[in-house]
Amino acid sequence: MMATLTDTNTPSGAGASRRTPTLGSWLLTKERLLLGVLGVLLLLAAWQVCASLKWIDPFFTSSPKDVVSEARIYLSSPQARVDLRASGKEFLMGFAGALVIGVPAGIVLGWFRRIDALIDPLLTFFYASPRIALTPLMIVWFGIGLESKSVIVGLMAIFPIIINMAAGVRTVDRQLINVGKGFQASSLQMLATIALPASLPSLAAGIRLGIGQALIGVFVAELTGATAGVGFTMNQAASNFQISLVFVTLFVIAGFGVVLTLILRRIEKVLTKWQIQ
């Protein structure tokens, strides 16, 4: 800041500083991003230093260097392909199910006050209960295959989707509803032209929360009776003290979530460009 100020005050530097941004001003505009990256790098460096100097036992904690070399091996192995396919399938089927059931259910609950009153206690009960604890029951009901795992993923993801969708539909501005009524819109027209577009931002928030929950579901589902999957490999690695591999799989799952969230944010931006930025 100081440098820029003195530049503009001196006649020779005045024009130049306005046209070409200085390194200092570029750093300022990217400040948040750069500080974020710096935070990650500092943590990795500290981890590496602690492991190299044996302040912590690398056998139990691994180190960034070991994690990177382990990642090279794992990601090029056939095991990784099998794991990703298995986990991906569970996630996709479960999440698709959560969307297909959750979105219409949320709309119905948000739109019909009586049905909402009827279902709300049940919804609250299931939302508050640790659904993950239903895993053994799901295995009894659906077996140890893809079905039970998808159901667990779906169960995790569906609640934030239903609850946010319903809240979005329920809280539509009365003024807008009156406009629809004034033009004699039918219930279905009001739903399609007012309630749904108005609750799109709320649905997006529900889906974002749902992604996180679904990833937890993938991992937990693979703890029991799985033969492949990123979560399965993580669990195996931990029992065999392959700590580097544990971290690799952790980053794979987290990275998957980050990528999905970024894609969603992009879609959201296009669909809700009418919102005040």
Contact flag: residue 200 with another protein (CB under 8 A): yes
Instruction: Report the alpha-carbon angle 151-154-160, nearest 5.
Output: 150
Q: Pick one of 88, 97, 197, 225: the residue that binds another protein (CB under 8 A).
A: 197
- Among 94-102, 156-164, 170-178, 236-244, the segment contacting another protein (CB under 8 A): 170-178
Packed helices 196-221 and 78-111: angle between N→C axes, nearest 10 degrees? 140
Site for another protein contains 124 (CB under 8 A): no
Stretch that binds another protein, among 101-109, 179-187, 221-229, 235-243 (CB under 8 A): 179-187
Residues 6+ apart with CB under 8 A from 97: 150, 151, 154, 158
CA distance 227 to 87: 11
Binding-site residue total for another protein (CB under 8 A)?
22
Cα distance between residue 211 and residue 213, in whole Å:
5
Nearer to another protein, 101 or 179 (CB): 179
Cβ proximity of 235 and 223 under 8 Å = yes
- Return the range that interacts with another protein (CB under 8 A); candidates 53-61, 155-163, 186-194, 208-216: 186-194
- Nearest approach in angstroms of CB 116 to another protein is 16
By CB under 8 A, residue 188 contacts another protein: no
CB of 248 to another protein, least distance (A): 43
- What single string gives the DSSP state of each residue in 47-85? HHHHHHTTSS-HHHH--HHHHHHHHHHHHHSHHHHHHHH
Of 83-91, 135-143, 169-177, 257-265: span binding another protein (CB under 8 A) = 169-177
Element (DSSP H or E) covering residue 216: helix 196-221
Q: Which is nearer to another protein, 59 or 274 (CB)?
A: 274
Binding interface with another protein (CB under 8 A): 173, 175-176, 178-185, 189, 193-194, 197-198, 200, 272-276
